[in-house]
Structure 1
Amino acid sequence: MLDTTPLTAAVDRFADRLRAAPQSRLQRGAAAEALAAARELAVRAQRIERPGREPYLVPDAGMFVVGDQLTVAGRDLAAALVTAPSAELDEAVRFVEEAAARAFA
């Protein structure tokens, strides 16, 4: 199991808010913002883990599972960043926090 990092903590906070959000909030853009964030995190992880290969796209599996998709993508990136410079981790944390702020603005 991956230890908690600043990235996994930020992802977990965002995902928990999504899971607790009413359907109306998800429909007003929170789910779309989270899906875009999950896709970006997944692409970043795949570029580290499989350089030179075309990244797979996280599918749109619906607004009620996007929190789980975000969690998986965020943890994948955290695992990929274990040996990366701390600046990359800091940037990923900022990205997640900004996406969460946009989703719940």
Structure 2
Amino acid sequence: MDHFADRLRAAPQSRLQRGAAAEALALARHLARWTQSVEEPGAQAREMPDAGMFAAADQILVAAHDLALVLESEDQVSEAVGLVEEARKRAGV
């Protein structure tokens, strides 16, 4: 996760605009919904706001760290790591 965030921070604005920031935001939103579903089962999910392309790295870090606090098994950790890696590849960073 930290590597992905660092790569986003170092990415040129043009790459962020071509989809890397949107991919990061989509990942952050997914991780945040996952956390919410564990913390508040059955509650209506709240959507992480779009804080702009330059905040995308911070948003994925916050969402991932929140999720790490509620994961209950190694399988869940592996799934989360896989999601991050897939998003990093799609983002092209």
d(CA) in 2 for partners of 1:72 and 1:39?
11
Aligned-partner residue type, residue 16 of structure 1: D
Aligned to 1:85: 73
Query: Is 1:75 aligned with 2:65?
Result: yes
Q: Say which SS state the counterpart of residue 54 (structure 2) adopts.
A: coil
Aligned to 2:38: 48
d(CA) in 2 for partners of 1:67 and 1:18?
6
CA RMSD in angstroms comes to 0.9
d(CA) in 1 for partners of 2:73 and 2:59?
25
Runs of 4+ in structure 1 displaced over 3 angstroms?
none
Aligned to 2:2: 12
Q: Say which SS state the counterpart of residue 51 (structure 1) adopts.
A: coil
Query: Is 1:34 aligned with 2:24?
Result: yes
Aligned to 2:56: 66
Query: Between the two proteins, what is the percent identity of the paired residues?
Result: 59
Aligned residues: 93
Q: Pick from 82, 85, 91: which aligns with 1:97?
A: 85
Q: TM-score, normalising length from structure 2?
A: 0.96
